[in-house]
Chain A
Amino acid sequence: MNAGQSRYGYVFVSGYTLLLLAFGLLPTLYALYLSFTRNGAFVGVDNFVRVFGDYRFLPAVMHVALYVLFWLVSLIVLVVVLAIVVHGIRVRWLGNTARFLFYIPGAIAGASSVLLWLFVLDPSVSPVSALLHAMGYESLINVVAVGNLPVVFTVIAFWAGAGSWIVIMYGALNNVPVEVMEAARIDGAGPVQTAWHIQLPMLTKWISYMGVMSLAAGTQLFVEPKILAQATKNIVPEDYSLNQLAYLYAFRQNDFSGSAAISVMLLVVALGLSAIFIFRGKLFERD
């Protein structure tokens, strides 16, 4: 190592490190501090106990868990199937078009995608109102009944997010050597067997990556229920997800300690998942 170079190394990373400290480390530490104190005094796990005891907490955990479950399953199954199917298209422009069509909804995220889906889910204006009516839904209220919400949020998230995963999986499938595929075909393996025995194993690493990322992101559910709550005058409850609850603690109850306690719990989950993946997985091994 060269001392002069190393000095410049620090200069080059300084700006980023500053931001990392200010908006990565410091907020985490501050939230931790708040979550164990109340009005500046150390209170142990009192804040956590209070949040656990809140009648809204457990339902919010269940809501989020159910949504994450639905989302993960649909992502893993459908993304893999669609990637393999698209990869199997021999006509090149068709394959490219399919990838593009799947990917383009990724441009519409955040509040915009929820608003768009508000229209799609409202039988009075929906482009698929016939389908909604056929399923027995006469109004938005029916569609977004609390029991349906995990599915509704899954559909919204899948619509906006699945495309990029399909494209990534497609890329991973390019790694399967053509010779291997040919050999399998000559041995009499059908497309399903090839997919199961040859293509799927190639994807496991990416599937687990997708799973971990989506799990972490899913626990953060906020904008979808927030806007649906607003659009349905709170028939979709404003305390549906954990982040909404943390928001209510901070903005409605003026209880920053409680809010911090929920954030810390969510952060621990996200950090844990991400750390496990980095230290146990092999995806980011290059250093």
Chain B
Amino acid sequence: MSQHSSSHRRAARFVAVAAAATAGLLAFSGCSTDASGGGDTSLGFTQAEQVADSPITVWVDASREPAVTAFQAANPDIEVNLETYDGNAGGSGSFQSKISLMDQAGEGWPDVVFSTQQNDAIWASKQTTSGEQGFAAPLNKGFIEQDFLDGFAAGSLDYTTIDGTVYGLRNDLAQTVFYYDQTLLDEFGYEVPTTWEEYGELGDKLAAEHPGYILGSMGDSFMTYVYYGGSESPVFQSPEANVFHSDTADANSEGISKIIDGMLANGTLVQDSFFSADFASKYAGKLVGVPGPVWYTGAIFQGALAVPAGQIGVSAPLKWEGGDVAAGNVGGGVWYASSHSKNLDAVKTFLEFVTSADEFQVDASSGYPAYSSAAEKWLDKQAEAGYFVNDDFKTVMSDAAGQVWSGWNVTSWSPETAWAKIVIPGIADGQTVESLLPAWQKELENEATVNGYSVD
């Protein structure tokens, strides 16, 4: 090297030229992504240039694929590209990550996205870091008629409404009720529990007299809504914007945790996920009763466990002894329209179809439609099939929809991740939920801080 030292300068110049060339190459290729055309802002967002009859891309989870199939059958003129993804399940954040990538690319956005979470409007309504408009198109500023929006069950669009602007349409309501297997209850001579205390006691009795039969599962992270939301535990609250509050030491939180611990210990609550490969083979005919969202009807009883009609009943959500009835809310997916869509007409047709048309919501959806007229037909369909043993199941379900506890809020991150990280592995490891409460709260508060919330 030393003998060449006199010519360092030339080498340096060469490097500089190469660097400039590289920068040029990168800058050149960057020119192609500028937006063009469009610019109409009459619907509350800047429209992309519309291309009539262009295909629309729809992201759904696998469970919502029948919605797309039904749409294609009913609207053969509109070309739909279906892409399945995890549906953001468990608060995986894949929806946001994927859109973030598209925002970077400045292209490639899907036209419609279904998410199983309720909190996506919080980020999807915001401008991107580079100042582009947020992904979710405002829906009530002229894009979708108010008449149609009024057809949704009261309050069902609250989660996706930010400062009066609606960003997403609710697919289904997900209030919890109590499901029971009348055949098994009769056989064992048990009553349907109405309170959390009775639920726990039933667990003790069942474990002692009929071991092997179960009253639910703790294997899925959405159990946080079923058991803590449903028991009015103030674990996940956002009293005002960007403020987070959690109290796992509250009497309700402690109480429900003790009940869960007892039932985990006696085996009436299992740790297998409802959706694990062998859940049906292990527990078909063994599920005596379970608190859960109304979409269990299709997803678990008619689907995975294939329980025939005339065996299952539903009763009001469990409450505390002497307390008022309160339901938890477990999802109820949301449809979003892209503000970047090149075929908003098709997107509008699609959104209205999948949320309200009988072909999907009544015939093929597993849950309780959020669109009121579809919900009535869905309930009629269950009645016609005589699926539920109790005649008042319609009232039970629709009452529960109005009893969802308001003390469980939606924030920019999902409550499910902390549950998955702390509680599920903890109980798998043999610890009690009660002993995990402080760590769980700590994790929730840490997540709040990372997401820019102040902890109250």
What total of A-B pairs shows CB separation below 8 Å? 89
Residues of B within 8 A of A254 (CB): 100, 128-129
Who on chain A is nearest to B222 by CB? A233
The reply to whether A234 and B450 contact each other, CB–CB distance below 8 Å, is no
Residues of B within 8 A of A26 (CB): 19, 22-23
B104 smallest CB distance to A (angstroms):
9
The reply to whether A238 and B93 contact each other, CB–CB distance below 8 Å, is yes
- Which of the residues B25, B425, B450 comes within 8 Å of A56, measured between beta carbons? B450
- Produce 1/0 per residue, B91-103, CB < 8 A to A: 1110011001100
Answer whether residue B62 sits at the interface, using C-beta atoms and an 8 A cutoff.
Answer: no
The reply to whether B89 and A233 contact each other, CB–CB distance below 8 Å, is yes
Q: Given A124-B278, A233-B89, A256-B129: A22 and B97 within 8 A (CB)?
A: no
Contacting B at CB under 8 A, from A17-61, are 17-18, 21-22, 25-26, 54-56
Who on chain A is nearest to B427 by CB? A141
Answer whether residue B379 sits at the interface, using C-beta atoms and an 8 A cutoff.
Answer: no
The reply to whether B18 and A14 contact each other, CB–CB distance below 8 Å, is yes
Answer whether residue A106 sits at the interface, using C-beta atoms and an 8 A cutoff.
Answer: no
- Which of the residues B4, B128, B276, B425 comes within 8 Å of A145, measured between beta carbons? B425
Total chain B interface residues with beta-carbon distance under 8 A: 43
Answer whether residue B429 sits at the interface, using C-beta atoms and an 8 A cutoff.
Answer: yes
Residues of A within 8 A of B86 (CB): 230
Q: Given A21-B22, A141-B425, A142-B428: A233 and B96 within 8 A (CB)?
A: no
Residues of A within 8 A of B221 (CB): 233-235
The reply to whether B18 and A234 contact each other, CB–CB distance below 8 Å, is no
The reply to whether B97 and A233 contact each other, CB–CB distance below 8 Å, is no
- Which of the residues A21, A56, A141 comes within 8 Å of B15, measured between beta carbons? A21
Who on chain B is nearest to A249 by CB? B450
- Produce 1/0 per residue, B197-239, CB < 8 A to A: 0000000000000000000000111000000000000000000
A256 smallest CB distance to B (angstroms):
7
**For the complex, what is the distance from the CA of A154 to the CA of B18, rounded to whole Å?**
41
Chain A, interface size category, equals 20 to 34
Answer whether residue A253 sits at the interface, using C-beta atoms and an 8 A cutoff.
Answer: yes
Residues of A within 8 A of B417 (CB): 234, 237-238
- Which of the residues B23, B101, B271 comes within 8 Å of A141, measured between beta carbons? B271
Residues of A within 8 A of B120 (CB): none
Q: Given A22-B26, A26-B19, A124-B277: A235 and B420 within 8 A (CB)?
A: yes
Residues of A within 8 A of B4 (CB): 1
- Which of the residues A141, A230, A251 comes within 8 Å of B424, measured between beta carbons? A141
Contacting A at CB under 8 A, from B21-44, are 21-23, 25-26
The reply to whether A141 and B90 contact each other, CB–CB distance below 8 Å, is no
Answer whether residue A202 sits at the interface, using C-beta atoms and an 8 A cutoff.
Answer: no
- Which of the residues B14, B91, B100, B425 comes within 8 Å of A10, measured between beta carbons? B14
Contacting A at CB under 8 A, from B350-372, are none
The reply to whether B271 and A234 contact each other, CB–CB distance below 8 Å, is no
**For the complex, what is the distance from the CA of A268 to the CA of B35, rounded to whole Å?**
38
Residues of B within 8 A of A56 (CB): 446, 450
B66 smallest CB distance to A (angstroms):
23
Answer whether residue A172 sits at the interface, using C-beta atoms and an 8 A cutoff.
Answer: no
Answer whether residue A96 sits at the interface, using C-beta atoms and an 8 A cutoff.
Answer: no
Residues of B within 8 A of A256 (CB): 129
The reply to whether B22 and A22 contact each other, CB–CB distance below 8 Å, is yes
Who on chain B is nearest to A122 by CB? B277
The reply to whether A233 and B449 contact each other, CB–CB distance below 8 Å, is no
- Which of the residues B92, B100, B272 comes within 8 Å of A234, measured between beta carbons? B92
Contacting B at CB under 8 A, from A49-94, are 54-56
The reply to whether A55 and B450 contact each other, CB–CB distance below 8 Å, is yes
- Produce 1/0 per residue, A101-132, CB < 8 A to B: 00000000000000000000000110000000
**For the complex, what is the distance from the CA of A142 to the CA of B429, rounded to whole Å?**
7
Answer whether residue B181 sits at the interface, using C-beta atoms and an 8 A cutoff.
Answer: no
- Produce 1/0 per residue, B4-23, CB < 8 A to A: 10000000001100110111
Residues of A within 8 A of B100 (CB): 250-252, 254
Contacting B at CB under 8 A, from A206-237, are 230, 232-235, 237
Residues of A within 8 A of B90 (CB): 233-234
B331 smallest CB distance to A (angstroms):
14
Answer whether residue B111 sits at the interface, using C-beta atoms and an 8 A cutoff.
Answer: no
**For the complex, what is the distance from the CA of A156 to the CA of B367, rounded to whole Å?**
40
The reply to whether A234 and B420 contact each other, CB–CB distance below 8 Å, is yes
Answer whether residue B381 sits at the interface, using C-beta atoms and an 8 A cutoff.
Answer: no
Residues of B within 8 A of A10 (CB): 14
The reply to whether A139 and B89 contact each other, CB–CB distance below 8 Å, is no
Residues of B within 8 A of A145 (CB): 425, 428-429
The reply to whether B450 and A18 contact each other, CB–CB distance below 8 Å, is no
The reply to whether B18 and A146 contact each other, CB–CB distance below 8 Å, is no
The reply to whether B18 and A17 contact each other, CB–CB distance below 8 Å, is yes
Centre residue among B90, B97, B425 by max chain A CB count within 10 A: B425
A34 smallest CB distance to B (angstroms):
12
B224 smallest CB distance to A (angstroms):
12
Contacting A at CB under 8 A, from B379-425, are 416-417, 420-421, 424-425
- Which of the residues B22, B425, B450 comes within 8 Å of A235, measured between beta carbons? B425
**For the complex, what is the distance from the CA of A256 to the CA of B272, rounded to whole Å?**
39
Residues of B within 8 A of A253 (CB): 450-451
Who on chain B is nearest to A125 by CB? B277
**For the complex, what is the distance from the CA of A55 to the CA of B271, rounded to whole Å?**
28
The reply to whether B428 and A141 contact each other, CB–CB distance below 8 Å, is yes
Residues of B within 8 A of A234 (CB): 90-92, 221, 416-417, 420-421
- Which of the residues B220, B428, B450 comes within 8 Å of A139, measured between beta carbons? B428
- Which of the residues A25, A230, A252 comes within 8 Å of B96, measured between beta carbons? A252
Who on chain A is nearest to B272 by CB? A139
Who on chain A is nearest to B275 by CB? A233
A149 smallest CB distance to B (angstroms):
10
Q: Other than A230-B92, A235-B420, give 18 A-B pairs with Cβ distance below 8 A.
A: A10-B14, A18-B22, A18-B25, A22-B25, A55-B450, A124-B278, A139-B276, A141-B219, A141-B424, A141-B428, A233-B89, A233-B90, A233-B221, A233-B273, A234-B420, A250-B100, A251-B97, A254-B128
- B residues neighboring A (CB under 8 Å): 4, 14-15, 18-19, 21-23, 25-26, 86, 89-93, 96-97, 100-101, 128-129, 219-221, 271-273, 276-278, 416-417, 420-421, 424-425, 428-429, 446, 449-451
Q: Shortest 3 CB-CB distances between A and B: which pairs?
A: A233-B90, A234-B420, A55-B446
The 19 sampled A-B contact pairs (Cβ below 8 Å) are: A14-B18, A17-B18, A25-B19, A26-B19, A26-B22, A56-B450, A124-B278, A139-B271, A141-B271, A141-B424, A233-B416, A235-B221, A238-B93, A251-B100, A252-B96, A252-B97, A253-B450, A253-B451, A254-B128
